[in-house]
Amino acid sequence: MTQNPGSHHILEHVQEERDLGVIVDSQLKFSSHSQKVSANASRALGIIKYSITSRSRHVICKLYKGLVRPCLEVWTILATPRFKRDKVVFEETQRRANKLIAGMENKPYSERLREINLPSLVYRRKRGEMILAHKLLSTNQENELLEIDPSHITR
């Protein structure tokens, strides 16, 4: 615990803090958040695996898109995984979901994604970031969040 000079507030040292639903550690990394989100998505996938008898492409894809993928993507704008190990944690859940589909168990991950017309989570995350950047930088709309100084535009 440290005390700020000129103030009577005592700040305590914590290893992790949760704010806006995102877990951040003392080094400002989101690894704990990634693990928790992945565990929640894995639970949802386990419920699908053990409670649904159908292994058809249509049923598994609809359930995955409706129950599992939202768990993996809900905080990606606030806490984008920057480290490879965090990205792998998310992709592993999607890999396991694809293997639930009948006839897909022994195919490579990229081939499974192509056959069921499902983009990777990395692709979806980058696409979402580009859409957000476009919305923020769009000159057709009046932006209250971001102001662009015309004197610094190079093109």
Residue 79 within any structural domain of the chain? yes
Residue 5 within any structural domain of the chain? no
Residue 7 within any structural domain of the chain? no
* Alpha helical stretches, state H, 17-147: 31-51, 57-63, 69-73, 84-99, 109-115, 121-137
- Residue 6's pLDDT is 63
Residue 138 has pLDDT above 80, yes or no: no
What's the number of domains the chain is made of? 1
For residues 100 and 115, the answer to whether their CB atoms sit within 8 Å is no
Q: Return the percentage of the chain with pLDDT > 90, whole number.
A: 11
Residue 36 within any structural domain of the chain? yes
Tell me the C-alpha distance between 90 and 71, whole Å. 10
For residues 93 and 41, the answer to whether their CB atoms sit within 8 Å is yes
Domain that holds residue 88: 14-152
- Residue 135's pLDDT is 80
Element (H, E) at 10: strand 10-11
Predicted TM-score of the model (pTM): 0.69
Residue 141 within any structural domain of the chain? yes
Q: Return the percentage of the chain with pLDDT > 70, whole number.
A: 81
- Residue 59's pLDDT is 92
- Residue 15's pLDDT is 79
Residue 6 within any structural domain of the chain? no
Residue 148 within any structural domain of the chain? yes
